Structure 1
Amino acid sequence: MVVQGGDRPGQTTLDYNKSVLLEEHNCYEFRRQKIVQMMIHAWDGYANYSWGANELKPLTNRSHLGSVFGRSPLGLSIVDALDTLYIMGLMDRFEVGKQWVKDSLDFSKAHGTLSVFETTIRYIGGLLSVYALTNDTMFVTKAEEVADFLLPAFNTPTGIPLALVDISRGTSQNWPWAPDGASILSEFGTLQLEFEYLSIVTGKPIYLEKVNRIRDYLQQIAKPGKLYYNYLNPKSGEWGSRFVSVGALGDSFYEYLLKAWLISDKADLVAKQMYDEAMAAVIEHMLFVSKGGLTYFGELKSSYINHKMDHLACFIGGLFALHSVNDEEAYNKYMPLAKQITTTCHESYVRSRTHLGPEGFSFKNPDKEAVALVGAESVYILRPEVVESYFYLWRTTKEPIYREWAWDFAVAYVSDAIEKYCKTASGYSGIKNVYDENPDKDDVQQSFFLAETLKYLYLIFSPDDVIPLDRWVFTSEAHPFPIRFNGTSNFAAFNSPTQF
């Protein structure tokens, strides 16, 4: 029987549905390939003008080293981007980067102070992710070499690491700007996944012991209102100033509690309990709805609420979505919050002239909600957190709006966005004012643009079996690690970038 239902005479409903699906597939495949072209443009510019340096300055075609890595040329963009190249199937470029890692990545040559946190999430995380994808143990060896240089930072009375290491001198210190010699929650609380996985793949317990000592200390320390403050003195073991945020200084600590539970195949119940209690506390004390109906997290400073949200905090919409689909009891509470907060972050983009989001946005003025009120917060530095939440909400809800928002962000076909304002002849640059129709560029192609922003964009337009969320967990730097089913450290060696 022929059932009429298509647009053309004689077209069956089945034929029509097939044609719609094919059209949709072709549309998203086109978009996916556009993101691949963006990755090629960014990578090739770096390779042509800054190879072996940390990042590209895409306006002046010079090298950018970055103070958090001691201003040493350590191939940051290579290591951070390798798994993105592999996932996208850009194998020629991947092999060139892999060879550089094998021949040239050497932290013994680093000088100045390096951030323990940034080195962990970008280098150790990037190397271990490529190992997980390829089963090439060279990457484990390199990750172990890097981690060993960081270990002196953990030699404190509490086990809470210092923020910086000077490899050439074998010394450690905290950031000079941190109050009262404190370590930062988002830094010492975001080492668990990388160090734990490194212990698993090397068989050496020292790395896991270091991060478990951090967790043990945080679990037992008194927490007023069950809140984790952003500053903790590693010598006295006491909290510093009464400042709590899910944005800068706090953000990824909360992320890693949930993800430690997920990557253990939900066996790490201590991490889950800490996450549940921490989230309940920040929701109770710091979650607000503006007069205009936008849901956001403020910042708690002593008893004062700063009604401002960081771009960095926009990751939490995606985190709540991930939590919702992995915890049936949490779904009705956290999925609506995931959508509401991500909508707020989207509004921070569409309320700018460029349709790019500011570094921070305020709710203090009801006539200018989700808008930066301070000039320094008007910058956009290629950050991934908003598109990261689009990715998780697309994967968990299948609501097409998140794909459309991602496309608007990436390409100026529908709105003014990253291709129009950030692209240069050799790469992509941050901009200094998202509210300016002709913004100046900051001349830095951040490594996380290749590691995170472009990866999440690519995955939004990819089938769900490309890095499926029931088999992989993304680190804070968007490096995928395998879930440890039944306690195993890995589940396959992949010989093709299409086999995930």
Structure 2
Amino acid sequence: MMQFAWQSYKRYAMGKNELRPLTKDGYEGNMFGGLSGATVIDSLDTLYLMELKEEFQEAKAWVEESFHLNVSGEASLFEVNIRYIGGLLSAFYLTGEEVFRIKAIRLGEKLLPAFNTPTGIPKGVVSFKSGNWGWATAGSSSILAEFGSLHLEFLHLTELSGNQVFAEKVRNIRKVLRKIEKPFGLYPNFLSPVSGNWVQHHVSVGGLGDSFYEYLIKSWLMSGKTDMEAKNMYYEALEAIETYLLNVSPGGLTYIAEWRGGILDHKMGHLACFSGGMIALGAEDAKEEKRAHYRELAAQITKTCHESYARSDTKLGPEAFWFNSGREAVATQLSESYYILRPEVVESYMYLWRQTHNPIYREWGWEVVLALEKYCRTEAGFSGIQDVYSSTPNHDNKQQSFFLAETLKYLYLLFSEDDLLSLEDWVFNTEAHPLPVNHSDSSGRAWGRH
């Protein structure tokens, strides 16, 4: 599958950000500020892990010869960080090839102007042109999942460059978040980078909030379990989520609702389905009396996300699903019924498999493989579908770069031995790019003790 996805991309869209498989051409989009080759960078570590040596060399050659950083558009800080910086860092750590390290650091430097705000909470958009902070958008707010998902990569940028500024920027974000008052211990999704106050009280473990929580537990793990602040913030946040957002439906399905100033929306987004894997990953370092509880909670949430797949005609899950009026774990409108090759459900299967070795997770993963082959494979690559409840769905004409970075990697790991990227030694960024755990007791290094 990976080979087919890569070869289709190479044939029709090499160097473009993503392949459009129906029209057999490439797509640049406006998320990356003029940077190209998102699919190349996102695929490097997956190709390497799968021992697709020829394809990896093609990707590496493109990075060496054609990956130019002298661009002048406006880019999403978050997307460039998780896809490009994450992909380059992993490629370096897996191969030791210097080109990946150098490009990662250079690109990281281009992201620093986003932090030129009164609070140091970065803007969501960075202009590569002037390097100035766009005061035109000074009224806008920054998104928790975006400014909260820089920590892993930026500590590695400091580690590899010796430049402390990367680590300082993300430590400051942590400091602001620790000090600010949180409603009921919850972290709302929007913060003003100017005032440092929450902009509204919406809370979500799906889009807008998701990877902030993930990066807390992963910062603890990546630090070799020395970053106590990250650990404490994670378990406190998880307890608040459990108290205020966790529900069980009449049909017995456990889900995490969305919170709007005290009122719950009984829906769960596909993006929130990563949380089963996250809670499993964090279970072993919880207080002893909570460990079994978190393992069970992780299994229950993952089961709910499987139900969202099982209850569709295609056996792929919708973008969001609801729990109301007797209908459970299904999308209630067409605008939420699409599947764009997202990885979060198979990501949780992989973590739960590694923790329990319960064969059900491999069975569920295989259901996804078969459904992808049946409904998403086209003549020239894989495409998302517009309605998971149709047995003849229309394709959306997009092979997302995260399909190669994440979905196929997590499926491959689900069916691999546990020592391939052992969770003792590697932490995955939120684009599934593996970063090494700092095992040495060296408090003076980037991640240090707090």
| TM-score, length-scaled by structure 1 | 0.86
User: AA paired with 1:331?
Assistant: R
The question of whether the paired residues in 1 share the 8 Å contact of 2:35 and 2:69 is answered with no
Cα distance change of structure 1 residues 304 and 219 upon mapping to structure 2, 3 Å threshold: same
The question of whether the paired residues in 1 share the 8 Å contact of 2:186 and 2:240 is answered with yes
Matches for 1:257-272 after TM superposition, within 5 Å: 257-272=216-231
CA distance in 2, matches of 1:322, 1:73: 33
Structure 2 equivalent of residue 90 of structure 1 = 52
SS class of match (1:165): strand
CA distance in 2, matches of 1:341, 1:174: 41
User: AA paired with 2:386?
Assistant: K
Matched, 1:105 2:40: no
Aligned mate of 1:319, from 256, 278, 284: 278
Post-superposition CA distance 1:243-302 (Å, at most 9, x none): 000001000000000000001111000000000111110110000000000000000001
Q: CA deviation at 1:325?
A: 3.1
User: AA paired with 1:181?
Assistant: S
Aligned mate of 2:328, from 361, 369, 379: 369
Structure 1 equivalent of residue 440 of structure 2 = 486
Structure 2 equivalent of residue 49 of structure 1 = 12
Q: CA deviation at 1:328?
A: 6.0
Structure 2 equivalent of residue 439 of structure 1 = 393
Q: CA deviation at 1:113?
A: 1.3
Cα distance change of structure 1 residues 221 and 325 upon mapping to structure 2, 3 Å threshold: same
Matches for 1:273-312 after TM superposition, within 5 Å: 273-312=232-271
SS class of match (1:369): strand
Larger Cα-atom Rg:
1
User: AA paired with 1:164?
Assistant: V
Aligned mate of 1:76, from 38, 54, 58: 38
Aligned mate of 1:404, from 359, 363, 366: 363
Matches for 1:51-450 after TM superposition, within 5 Å: 51-70=14-33, 72=34, 74-109=36-71, 111-173=72-134, 181-327=140-286, 329=288, 330-366=290-326, 368-411=327-370, 417-450=371-404
Structure 1 equivalent of residue 447 of structure 2 = none
The question of whether the paired residues in 2 share the 8 Å contact of 1:163 and 1:173 is answered with no
Q: CA deviation at 1:174?
A: 9.1
CA distance in 1, matches of 2:263, 2:293: 26
- Number of equivalenced pairs: 442
User: AA paired with 1:81?
Assistant: S
SS class of match (1:440): coil
Cα distance change of structure 1 residues 174 and 42 upon mapping to structure 2, 3 Å threshold: farther
Gap regions ≥5 residues in structure 1: 1-37, 412-416, 490-500
Q: CA deviation at 1:404?
A: 0.5
The question of whether the paired residues in 2 share the 8 Å contact of 1:226 and 1:277 is answered with yes
Higher mean Cα deviation, 187-196 or 369-378? 369-378
The question of whether the paired residues in 1 share the 8 Å contact of 2:32 and 2:74 is answered with yes
Q: CA deviation at 1:39?
A: 0.1
The question of whether the paired residues in 2 share the 8 Å contact of 1:174 and 1:183 is answered with no
SS class of match (2:381): coil
Structure 1 equivalent of residue 446 of structure 2 = none
Q: CA deviation at 1:42?
A: 0.1
CA distance in 2, matches of 1:115, 1:100: 23
User: AA paired with 1:64?
Assistant: Y
CA distance in 1, matches of 2:159, 2:82: 17
Q: CA deviation at 1:326?
A: 4.0
The question of whether the paired residues in 1 share the 8 Å contact of 2:21 and 2:378 is answered with yes
CA distance in 2, matches of 1:65, 1:391: 31
User: AA paired with 1:126?
Assistant: G
User: AA paired with 2:67?
Assistant: L
Post-superposition CA distance 1:377-401 (Å, at most 9, x none): 1000000000000000000000000
CA distance in 1, matches of 2:375, 2:291: 38
The question of whether the paired residues in 2 share the 8 Å contact of 1:320 and 1:334 is answered with yes
User: AA paired with 1:389?
Assistant: S
Post-superposition CA distance 1:436-492 (Å, at most 9, x none): 111100000000000000000001111111111111111111001111002469xxx
User: AA paired with 2:73?
Assistant: G
Over the aligned positions, Cα root-mean-square deviation in angstroms equals 1.5
Cα distance change of structure 1 residues 174 and 289 upon mapping to structure 2, 3 Å threshold: farther
Q: CA deviation at 1:172?
A: 3.6
CA distance in 2, matches of 1:118, 1:130: 17
The question of whether the paired residues in 2 share the 8 Å contact of 1:162 and 1:174 is answered with no
Q: CA deviation at 1:364?
A: 1.6
Gap regions ≥5 residues in structure 2: 444-450
